[in-house]
Structure 1
Amino acid sequence: MIDNYVFNPKSPKYYVKKYLDHHIERFKNKIVIDLPAGNGVTTEILLMNGAKPIAFDLFPEYFMLEGVECKRADIIDKIPVEDNFSDFLICQEGIEHFSDQLKVFKEFNRVIKKNGELIITTPSQSNLASKFSYMLFESETTKLMPPNEIDDIWMSDKEATTEIYYGHIFLVGLQKLRMLGKLSGFKVKEIQYLRLSKGSLVLFPIVYPFIFISSYLRYFKNLKKKKEVPTAIKKEVYREQLKINLSVKNLLTKHTFIVFEKEKQLNEIDFNFKSTMKSFDKIM
């Protein structure tokens, strides 16, 4: 195995391997895009499990798996495959590095087949310690400085690409991930929570009662708004968000592991509740 982190329960790679091994039959003979592929450890696991991985990275020079080509791909531009190409796409520890996350999600939609799956792992910005650190310092954790040009430019090589590989500048929480998925034709299929954030555990008994009460108050308040929208639709959307807000695991996990299913092609997405749309003069 390329990377010993797959055997370390503190690493998200450990949980990705565990998931792939558990669902080995689902991935067998399936086309799986691995992006960013990094050193190639996930591609190697997929190969060992009988899948057909296609590896891409902004800096393929660091791909270590022999006998497999990792092609250069700038996700902000385009993944160099045709539409509806893959059965799965794994974006492991990547979404927090991408500056235009909605554009990235739409590109994921383009390359994944209908009913195919998008698997994302990312440091959780939804846990209590992360929320607290952002409130105090606008940083990922209390140990780190806020994002800056010294610590968060992880790779820049203009001979290879004009794009910069950023650090954790674009961290994203579970509610935003859900919304990015909805805007690009995906529904949440499964959420896993990896390992405990000790700082979040300390904050939990102090903060959770406020989260619980305020979440329910907001839920019922918003059900009364936008009377033109059918109540069943409002309940479906707001309950999904309420469930995320109140999830103890979501508030305590260090990493998020989320599986999306592609419901719609991009041209099929429509959120047009005409009765609730505002004209630009009223918005302004």
Structure 2
Amino acid sequence: MDINDIPHTRGNSIRFFTSYITKHASSLKGKRIYDLSAGSGYIARLFTEKGGKVSAYDLFPEHNAFSEIDIRKIDLQYEFPIEDKSADVVILSETFEHLPNQFHFFKETERVLDTNGILIITTPNTSSLRSRFSQFVTESEHYSNPLPDETTAFVTWPGTTDGYFNKIFISGILRIRVLAAINGLEIRKIHKSQFTSTSFLLLIFYPFILFFSWKNLRRQLKLSPENYHIYHSIYKLNTSFRILLSKHLIIEFLKK
């Protein structure tokens, strides 16, 4: 099966997790892994095959088509039905952009993660140059796709009363960083993702991004030099070629 044909997921996300699991196979064995957006169960199955102790959840558990473990129901806008410090790894694939209360998600994830636990999120990259240009011309994720309106903003699944918001809560890397940091999670790594040709063309504006980011860093350090680590990490994110050029954000967080 072509990975782009796997339902309820994105090919980019599948490619990343396939590579990640292969690379970290030895360290994943025996780890308590929680997939909070299991969808078809394909990613959960990959972790299970490498010896992970996987618990899978989804708003629509009946969509499971690949995982042999039971997928349990979860609504990420409420308290997670998961015990404190019970997870070594939490993953959320292509779902963060649908959550109205993203602060709550990070708060609950921090609660269920054990010390030195890892959270991995994949989400559309509104911090890319292409997306920044799209915001400028059409105020949407992509200039060829308008932002959902009131007729498409909320999707109800056929035959149920459950539903989810469309992609009207896409957050950029700096907003994601601060929401995570407030809840005790720090960015450990921005993983490589597919680049976009439009973003490459828009690199002509990079000197402006670099200048104003440096200017802000300099001003902040004068006011609060004790926060150097925070301000410098923001500067690095805002000027990162990987972030500016990538179609998706694939972010790995660490709970201290």
Structure-1-length-normalised TM-score: 0.84
Map 1:230-269 → 2, pairs under 5 A = 231=225, 233-263=226-256
Question: Could you say which residue in structure 2 is the equivalent of 1:278?
Answer: none
Output one character per residue of 1:188-242: Cα deviation in whole Å (capped at 9) or x when no partner: 111113011111111112x10111111111111121224xxxx2x3211111011
Map 1:125-144 → 2, pairs under 5 A = 125-144=126-145
Question: Could you say which residue in structure 2 is the equivalent of 1:183?
Answer: 182
Q: How far is the alpha carbon of 1:158 from its aligned partner?
A: 8.0
Structure 2: gaps (5+ residues): none
> Using a 3 Å threshold, how does the CA distance of structure 1 residues 6 and 108 change in structure 2: closer, same or farther?
farther
Question: Could you say which residue in structure 1 is the equivalent of 2:66?
Answer: 65
**Does structure 2 conserve the Cα–Cα contact (< 8 Å) formed by 1:5 and 1:14?**
no
Query: Partners in 1 of 2:80 and 2:219 — Cα distance?
Result: 42
SS at 1:148 equivalent:
coil
SS at 2:168 equivalent:
helix
SS at 2:189 equivalent:
strand
> What letter matches 1:37 in structure 2?
A
SS at 2:194 equivalent:
coil
Identity over aligned residues, as a percent? 32
SS at 1:193 equivalent:
coil
> What letter matches 2:211 in structure 1?
I
**Does structure 1 conserve the Cα–Cα contact (< 8 Å) formed by 2:41 and 2:67?**
no
> What letter matches 1:252 in structure 2?
L
SS at 1:80 equivalent:
coil
Output one character per residue of 1:97-145: Cα deviation in whole Å (capped at 9) or x when no partner: 1110000100101111111110111110110110111122111101101
**Does structure 1 conserve the Cα–Cα contact (< 8 Å) formed by 2:57 and 2:74?**
yes
Q: How far is the alpha carbon of 1:260 from its aligned partner?
A: 0.5
Q: How far is the alpha carbon of 1:22 from its aligned partner?
A: 0.6
Question: Could you say which residue in structure 1 is the equivalent of 2:15?
Answer: 14
> What letter matches 2:254 in structure 1?
E
Output one character per residue of 1:60-92: Cα deviation in whole Å (capped at 9) or x when no partner: 111113532111001111221211111100111
Q: CA RMSD in A?
A: 2.0
Structure 1: gaps (5+ residues): 264-284
Query: Partners in 2 of 1:53 and 1:103 — Cα distance?
Result: 23
> What letter matches 1:113 in structure 2?
D
Output one character per residue of 1:265-284: Cα deviation in whole Å (capped at 9) or x when no partner: xxxxxxxxxxxxxxxxxxxx
SS at 1:169 equivalent:
coil
Q: How far is the alpha carbon of 1:172 from its aligned partner?
A: 1.1
Query: Partners in 2 of 1:106 and 1:94 — Cα distance?
Result: 16
Higher CA-based Rg: 1
Query: Partners in 2 of 1:159 and 1:6 — Cα distance?
Result: 24
**Does structure 2 conserve the Cα–Cα contact (< 8 Å) formed by 1:117 and 1:259?**
yes
Structure-2-length-normalised TM-score: 0.93
SS at 2:191 equivalent:
strand
Question: Could you say which residue in structure 2 is the equivalent of 1:109?
Answer: 110
Output one character per residue of 1:29-73: Cα deviation in whole Å (capped at 9) or x when no partner: 111000110100111101111101111001111111353211100
Query: Partners in 2 of 1:262 and 1:57 — Cα distance?
Result: 23
> What letter matches 2:42 in structure 1?
V
SS at 1:11 equivalent:
helix
**Does structure 2 conserve the Cα–Cα contact (< 8 Å) formed by 1:10 and 1:195?**
no
**Does structure 1 conserve the Cα–Cα contact (< 8 Å) formed by 2:45 and 2:67?**
no
Question: Could you say which residue in structure 1 is the equivalent of 2:166?
Answer: 167
Query: Partners in 2 of 1:178 and 1:6 — Cα distance?
Result: 32
Given candidates 199, 207, 210, the residue that maps to 1:209 is: 207
> What letter matches 1:248 in structure 2?
F
> What letter matches 2:171 in structure 1?
V
Pair 1:96 & 2:97 matched: yes
Deviates more, 1:10-19 or 1:187-196: 10-19
